[in-house]
């Protein structure tokens, strides 16, 4: 796979809206990144403090690690993209902060505390990056 942001398939605004999750569901079923989580992601991606804020909030569907019980966060999701998928950090930063609207499949998330990979695939919603359940 080529990690060229220019080559990533994007969707238009109206297509992206189909993947938007309602505020009610986000508040009920999703974990929103707090300041500590955002700082952690910024450090992982080599971004300045506060760089992620304009594109937030960042949501990951609530799931606890099946081994240690840690509540998985967007920073675990990002770390999995870097370590498991091997995405360069500049590329991940572009996906989160770039102006493309992208819909990708749900993803396994590895717990950053104990290293266990989630059994299910997590859904997420953030900035211009949404989750398309129909993609396998």
Reading the block at residue 85, the tokens are 């998928």
Q: Which is nearer to Zn ion, 63 or 95 (CB)?
A: 63
Q: Lay out the site mask for Zn ion across 41-70 (x = CB under 5 A, - = otherwise).
A: ------------------------x-xx-x
Q: Which is nearer to Zn ion, 60 or 65 (CB)?
A: 65
Q: Which is nearer to Zn ion, 88 or 115 (CB)?
A: 115
Ranges within 24-43 binding Zn ion (CB under 5 A): none
**33: closest CA among 124, 130, 129?**
124
74: left (phi > 0), else alpha (psi -120 to 50), else beta? alpha
C-alpha 134/C-alpha 47 separation (Å) is 32
Stretch that binds Zn ion, among 9-17, 18-26, 77-85, 104-112 (CB under 5 A): 104-112
**Shortest distance, position 116 Cβ to Zn ion, whole Å:** 5
Q: Does position 114 bind Zn ion by CB under 5 A? A: yes
Residue partners of 11: CB distance under 8 A and separation at least 6: 19, 101, 102, 103
Q: Does position 117 bind Zn ion by CB under 5 A? A: no
**Shortest distance, position 111 Cβ to Zn ion, whole Å:** 3
**92: closest CA among 32, 56, 46?**
46
C-alpha 64/C-alpha 68 separation (Å) is 8
The residue ranges that bind Zn ion (CB under 5 A) are 65, 67-68, 70, 111, 113-114, 116
């Amino acid at each position: 796979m080529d990690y060229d942001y220019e080559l990533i398939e994007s969707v238009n605004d109206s297509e992206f809206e189909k993947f938007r999750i309602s505020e009610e569901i986000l508040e009920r079923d999703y974990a929103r990144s707090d300041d500590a989580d955002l700082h952690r992601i910024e450090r992982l991606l080599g971004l300045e403090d506060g760089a992620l804020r304009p594109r937030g909030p960042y949501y990951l569907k609530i799931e606890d690690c099946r081994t240690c019980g840690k509540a998985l966060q967007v920073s675990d999701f990002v770390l999995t993209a870097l370590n498991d998928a091997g995405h360069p950090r500049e590329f991940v930063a572009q996906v989160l902060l770039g102006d493309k609207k992208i819909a990708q499949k749900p993803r396994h998330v590895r717990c950053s505390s104990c290293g266990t990979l989630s059994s299910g695939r997590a859904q997420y919603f953030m900035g211009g990056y949404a989750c398309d359940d129909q993609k396998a």
